[in-house]
Amino acid sequence: MFGHFRRQGGTGSTRSAEALRLVKVSKVYGSDDSAVTALDGVSLSLPAGSFTAVMGPSGSGKSTLLQCAAGLDRADSGIVMVDGEQMTGGTEAELTKFRRQRVGFVFQQYNLLDTLTVEQNTTLPLRLAGRRVDRRRARDILARVGLGERLGHRPDQLSGGQRQRVAIARALVTEPSVIFADEPTGALDTRSAREVLGLLQEAVRVHGRTVVMVTHDPVAASYADAVLFLADGRLAGHMERPTVDEVAERLAHLGDMVAARHDVPAGV
Ligand code: ADP
Ligand code: MG
* Amino acid at position 184, single letter: P
CA of 110 to the centre of ligand 2 (A): 14
CA of 27 to the centre of ligand 1 (A): 10
Q: Give dist(CA 116, CA 152) in Å, integer.
A: 9
Q: Give dist(CA 136, CA 11) in Å, integer.
A: 19
Phi, psi of 19 (to 5 degrees): -80, -40
Structure confidence at residue 12 (pLDDT): 41
Q: From the CB of 63, is ligand 1 less than 6 Å away? A: yes
Structure confidence at residue 5 (pLDDT): 38
Lowest mean pLDDT among 18-27, 66-75, 86-95, 162-171: 86-95
Whose C-alpha lies nearest to ligand 1, atom 14? 59
Categorise residue 73: left if φ over 0, alpha if ψ from -120 to 50, beta otherwise: beta
Which tens digit of pLDDT belongs to each residue from 103-129?
999 999 999 999 999 999 999 999 999
Structure confidence at residue 89 (pLDDT): 74
* Residues in contact with 15: Cβ distance below 8 Å, sequence separation at least 6, in sequence order: 6, 7, 9, 48, 83, 177
User: What share of the chain has pLDDT > 70, as a percent?
Assistant: 93
Q: Which CATH class is domain 18-107+180-261?
A: alpha beta
Ligand nearest to the CA of 42: 1
Whose C-alpha lies nearest to ligand 1, atom 26? 29
Q: Give dist(CA 102, CA 22) in Å, integer.
A: 15
- The answer, yes or no, to whether residue 19 has pLDDT greater than 70, is yes
Mapped onto helix, strand or coil, the DSSP state of residue 78 is strand
CA of 77 to the centre of ligand 2 (A): 20
For the beta carbon of residue 175, count every other beta carbon within 10 angstroms.
15
Question: Residue 18: enclosing H or E segment and its boundaries?
Answer: strand 18-29
Q: Give dist(CA 39, CA 26) in Å, integer.
A: 5
Structure confidence at residue 261 (pLDDT): 77
- The answer, yes or no, to whether residue 6 has pLDDT greater than 70, is no
Which tens digit of pLDDT belongs to each residue from 139-186?
999 999 999 999 999 999 999 999 999 999 999 999 999 999 999 999
Which band of pLDDT confidence, cut at 50, 70 and 90, is reported for residue 259?
A: confident
CA of 65 to the centre of ligand 1 (A): 10
Predicted TM-score of the model (pTM): 0.91
Which band of pLDDT confidence, cut at 50, 70 and 90, is reported for residue 1?
A: very low
Structure confidence at residue 14 (pLDDT): 62
Question: Residue 86: enclosing H or E segment and its boundaries?
Answer: strand 85-86
CA of 112 to the centre of ligand 2 (A): 19
**b/e map of 201-232 (b: 16 or more CB within 10 Å)?**
eebbeeeebbbbbbbbbbebbbbbbbbbbbbb
Q: From the CB of 30, is ligand 1 less than 6 Å away? A: yes
Structure confidence at residue 258 (pLDDT): 78
Which atom of ligand 1 has the smallest separation from the CA of 64?
A: 6
* Residues in contact with 32: Cβ distance below 8 Å, sequence separation at least 6, in sequence order: none
Structure confidence at residue 3 (pLDDT): 35
DSSP conformational letter for 127: H
Q: Where are the domains of the chain?
A: 18-107+180-261
Residues in the chain: 268
Q: Which residue has the higher pLDDT, 223 or 31?
A: 223
- Stretch 93-109: mean pLDDT, rounded? 92
DSSP calls for 190-227: HHHHHHHHHHHHHHHHTT--EEEEE-S-HHHHTTSSEE
User: To test the ligand 1 pocket, which listed residue (27, 55, 64, 180) has its Cβ within 8 A of the most ligand atoms?
Assistant: 64
